[in-house]
Structure 1
């Protein structure tokens, strides 16, 4: 298949592109600026909020499937709500429209646990978003827009993936709480201060996140679906304790911190039945892999 990935030079987009390229699919990564990507992934500079730019890119590449990962993340969205709305909301509308026009039969897009906000999550994947952040609001918009698009164009399939906190080697943007701890420990700091959130939060290993997206590309689904994608729910102190085991001379120091405003009690609901896969990497194994990538 021919698969276009917006945000394809980024952390999750590139991991997903490499995963799908290994299966023999032709991959076109679309992203801002200029990037030299690994063999097997073509690149095109593109602004996803520019409808002419995206339409031309899709018309030339003729993707069978579009994976939409381009976005401004939590902190950037908070800092500039206009830019966040332009990229995350308008950009998603542009991508959905261009995919429809070029004949792509499926769009897999990244939503977020932030879209759920303070919602009652007992409904599982069917939970109605109640975002508590600008980023979450833009992701909730994506879910509502996708549902409306499928109602108007029933021959298309749109699949949303509500990720929690995805981590792994190469994560340079967004919320990097575990990433920062590991980098500091590897650098040899004698005292490691960490945010001691009062609740466990979700940590999804990058390989698991990419695998879920890759399977969503080929899963026998139609219509609109949104799936919670949950990895390992753990306290930050557990990550700090594992780093202490890896570096016995390290002193770990908890600092009181407020849990970020997302529905961290969300859980995998229909993922296994729909895709035959759920994330399984524990934070200890993920941290070890991040360390291996740094040393």
Structure 2
């Protein structure tokens, strides 16, 4: 297939690009190159015969029409989005512009392209979303594809809106859409404003490791390369109009997660001043911080045969090792806007 990947210079998008090229697909990587994007993420495939890059914004319909006309993709994987909850608290407008309006423009450009080619049955528009659209769980239960939407942050609300747009374009115009909602991702090339990179980099620098509230918030963690495999599986084998919940089956509280990373670093890079966990510092909680996320991934496992290959302990060890071995990559990002300072506390 020739796949148009939006946001392919970002964290999850670049993993999809690398995996798609490795699987023999042609890829058009469309990215606006905003603060969280990095072309080094796809440097390993930049010279591949099937790879092309387009510097464009999904909010720019003229640019989108040009890209579709030039490359004639067989499928769209839509990952371009503003994603950091803390940033959405400080500046929700950017999330509405990109995640809602940008998705609308991409849907319209994809629909025009699909119709111009005679509405081929094999075309797919795969919208990649998050489990955060479902809100917050209590101590028990799991999100499924049928969980009612209950977004609680500007980020998750904007993603929920984009999910609804995609389903509406499928129902109203017949556009062949699939939707996936994933749990928290982690792994190589994770932008250093997110929790796991913050823990690793602060620990290496001997700085306080911030933990929101009491650290009891629970997440289901999914290794990004497993997620990339799942997304390509959904694109190629998922049923039109269906949604797929993708989880790692690895629940852990934020505090336990941080302690696990500190223990790995104690083994890899011991501190003379004591264990890395001594750097843990509890800070004021994020406004509206969801208590727990957990995904029931039965549908994608039973219908499509996908399951994660990496446990959380294995994935965290791989991730820590990657950051230790790739200091040049993350050091180049430390001066980008917002990195290294607390965001989202203004509410």
Q: Which residue of 2 aligns with 1:250?
A: 275
2:200 alignment partner, SS class: helix
TM-score, reference length from structure 2? 0.76
Provide the aligned length of Structure 1 versus Structure 2: 291
Q: Take 2:223 and 2:282, find their aligned partners in 1: how far apart are those partners?
A: 25
Deviates more, 1:88-97 or 1:238-247: 238-247
1:286 corresponding residue in structure 2: 315
In structure 2, the residue matched to 1:13 is: 13
Per-residue deviation, 1:211: 1.0
Which of 54, 57, 68 is matched with 1:47 structurally? 57
Deviation for aligned residue 1:128: 1.9
Moved more, 60-69 or 190-199: 190-199
1:162 matched residue in structure 2: 181
Of residues 242, 248, 272 in structure 1, which corresponds to 2:301?
272
Whether the 8 Å CA contact 2:127–2:178 is kept in 1: the answer is yes
- For 2:94 and 2:261, the matched residues in 1 are separated by 37
How far residue 68 of structure 1 moved from its aligned partner, in angstroms, is 0.4
Q: Residue 130 of structure 1: SS of its match in structure 2?
A: coil
Residues 1:81 and 1:245: Cα distance change in structure 2 (over 3 Å): closer
Deviation at residue 192 of structure 1 after TM alignment:
4.8
1:78 aligns with: 89
Listed as ranges, the matches of 1:118-267 within 5 Å are 118=136, 124-154=144-174, 156-172=175-191, 176-185=194-203, 187=204, 189=206, 192=209, 194-195=211-212, 196-222=214-240, 224-231=241-248, 232-246=250-264, 247=266, 249-252=274-277, 253=280, 255=282, 258=285, 260-261=289-290, 264-267=293-296
The answer to whether the 8 A contact 1:205-1:281 is kept is yes
Partner Cα separation in structure 2 for residue 28 and residue 202 of structure 1: 30
Deviation at 1:78, TM superposition (A): 2.4
- Structure 1: distance between partners of 2:192 and 2:101: 21
The CA deviation at 1:245 is: 3.3
CA contact (8 A) 1:198 1:257 kept: no
Does the 8 Å contact 1:161/1:227 carry over to 2?
A: yes
Once the two structures are superposed, residues 95-131 of structure 1 have per-residue CA deviations (whole angstroms, 9 ceiling, x without a partner) of 1111121127111112112211147976721112111
1:23 CA drift (Å) = 1.3
Q: Secondary structure at the match of 1:124?
A: coil
Which stretch of structure 1 is more off in the superposition, 228-237 or 10-19? 228-237
Structure 1 or 2: larger strand share?
1
Partner residue in 2 for 1:23:
23
Q: State the superposition RMSD in angstroms.
A: 2.5
Residues of 1 paired with 2:180 and 2:208: CA distance?
37
Q: What is residue 109 of structure 1 aligned with on the other side? A: 127
- In the TM superposition, 1:55-74 aligns within 5 A as 55-73=65-83, 74=85
Query: What residue in structure 1 maps to residue 340 of structure 2?
Result: none
Gaps of 5+ in 1: none
Moved over 3 A (4+): 33-37, 118-123, 190-196, 256-259
Aligned to 2:145, the other structure's residue is in SS state helix
Please give the TM-score of this superposition, normalised by the length of structure 1.
0.88
